[in-house]
Amino acid sequence: MFLKRATILLIVALILAACSGSPPSSPTAAPTVPAPTLENTPTPQGPQPVSNIEDLKKATIQIEAQGTFVDPEVGLMLNVAGRGSGFIIDPSGIAVTNNHVVTGAALIKVWVGGETEARNARILGVSECWDLAVIDIEGDGFPYLALHEGEINPGLEVYAAGFPLGDPEYTLTKGIVSKAKADGKTSWASIPAVIEHDARIRGGNSGGPLVDNQARVVGINYAGNNVYDMNFAIRAQDAMKIIETLRKGQDFESIGVNGQAVMSEDGSLSGIWVASVKSGSPASKAGIQGGDIITRMEGLVLATDGTMGDYCDILRTRSADSSIAIEVLRFDTQEVLSGELNGRPLETKFSFAQELGGDTANESTANTDYILVQDDSGAIQVAIPSTWSEVDGSPWVLDNEVIGASITAAASLSNFASYWDEPGIFFAASDRVAQLAGYIQLLDAYRESYRNECKLQGRYDYEDSAFEGAYDYYINCNGAGNALIVLTARPKQNKTAFLVTFIFNAMSDSDWAALDQALNTFDVVGTLP
């Protein structure tokens, strides 16, 4: 019986284990990029900043970004001309806007203070985590804005300037700060704290200034909620340190994408949808394209909460040139790619469906629905066909002792446990097994058990963005005409933390596609029992 064999195999693995694993090493956080302070006081001989609301328009700009973008709902959009706002912070033409307004654009046009003729501009630096970008406008001698240096408390009178809804007509709205430090996590940014205010902003106001009654910058508008009439701005006092880095031509907390967090309705797929990519950026060099979904970074599944939080937290613990393992779903072709930022370029991840099951296996994927299931403790998860209606998420038990988490799934668990012609999966993870054996020793134990019933085709290395290990490929167990994959692996980070066992029995092309789906989604997401 299949499940009984799994228990026997574990016992054999424990007997064969030669030594305990060494304790995991603590990761060393990369040093953060120091951000110089902004010199807010002009030289006595130089131009003076705008100092009243009446002249605020002169330093406020409208931006048109032209290029090709891939929208998650609309798809490919060629030669799009999206519009946003911004403001000038230096008379030489240095201006601030949002990352999502300009990144990935082929051409940027700017209208200063309501001018009828557009000026060209170039991007100096961007940050997708702060949703900030600094651009340089052609020309010189521009009016500019200075920084509000006082406290930012609820009740502070503020004005939002810009060009909402792409209208070339300048707009100014008035309100007060309603919350000084609101949550800054959104689907397209992750900012430590932002300002909530009621000076109404709309699409097209993005990147425009939020100022006090003397036209000094309090914040950079970046988000609004029309339903609840809530408006948000990045705190200028926090942002200016980042802006000083960007104006020197250095990106900050950025890989060079214009994207947003997305999640499928059933939760089986989440990640960062890439609308466009900045040329020459780490994302561009790695091979990321518009329409890709970055599903994992350093083995961590991204955007499970619908925000950029985890994505930005990873960038904040790495230096700008650190190699970062990534996994990408190329949505239009359904390819899964793996590689590294600042390292190995993206390449097609190993596909059991293509390598072992044949090209026709991919044809069944479009007609199969998958669901993401977890074990009873919420420690591990994997996607399975919705037709596999019987799922057992009880703990992994040996000799009446819980040793880890497990998921067993099939259309019929009793048939999967008893016969070789029933497709199904057994996925488990254990930190206790990892203390006694390596993944090769564990795989050898399974081989010893299966060698009399199944024909071994070979052993192969396995690697994805989060795990490394090996798998044995068997066929025709007891004449059933099946194919059996037995994989054991360890996490790339903290290699002795735990071991996973992944056993998959396939009978048809659709099963091969289900195997690839399971391999793309299996993960340890919580504390093992």
Q: What would the two tokens of residue 437 be?
A: 């054996």
Q: Which residues contact 355 (CB under 8 A, 6 or more apart)?
A: none
Q: If you search the block for the tokens 């693995």, which residue do you land on?
A: 13
**Residue 166: CB atoms within 10 Å:** 14
Three-state secondary-structure class, residue 422 = coil
Distance CA 329, CA 13 (A): 35
Contact 251, 291 (CB under 8 A): no
CA atoms within 13 A on the CB side of 135: 32
Alpha helices, H only, 343-405: 352-355
Sheet architecture: strand order including 370-374: 370-374, 380-385, 523-524
- Looking at the chain, how many residues does it have? 529
Nearest Cα residue to 159 out of 171, 141, 142, 146? 171
Q: Which residues contact 80 (CB under 8 A, 6 or more apart)?
A: 66, 67, 68, 69
Three-state secondary-structure class, residue 142 = coil
CA dihedral (292, 258, 308, 252) in degrees, to 10, reads 120
Distance CA 514, CA 475 (A): 17
Alpha carbon separation from 52 to 41, 48, 216, 419 (Å, rounded): 17, 12, 8, 81
Distance CA 518, CA 444 (A): 23
Q: Which active-site residues does the annotation give?
A: 100, 131, 206
Nearest Cα residue to 148 out of 86, 95, 216? 216
DSSP 362: G
Q: If you search the block for the tokens 């359904």, which residue do you land on?
A: 334
∠ at Cα 191 (63, 109), nearest 5°? 10
Q: If you search the block for the tokens 């290029």, which residue do you land on?
A: 67
Alpha helices, H only, 317-425: 352-355, 413-418
Burial 271-310 (b: 16+ CB within 10 A, else e): bbbbbbbbeebbbbbbbbbbbbbbbbbbbbbbbeeebbbb
Alpha helices, H only, 419-503: 431-434, 439-450
Q: What would the two tokens of residue 338 be?
A: 């793996």
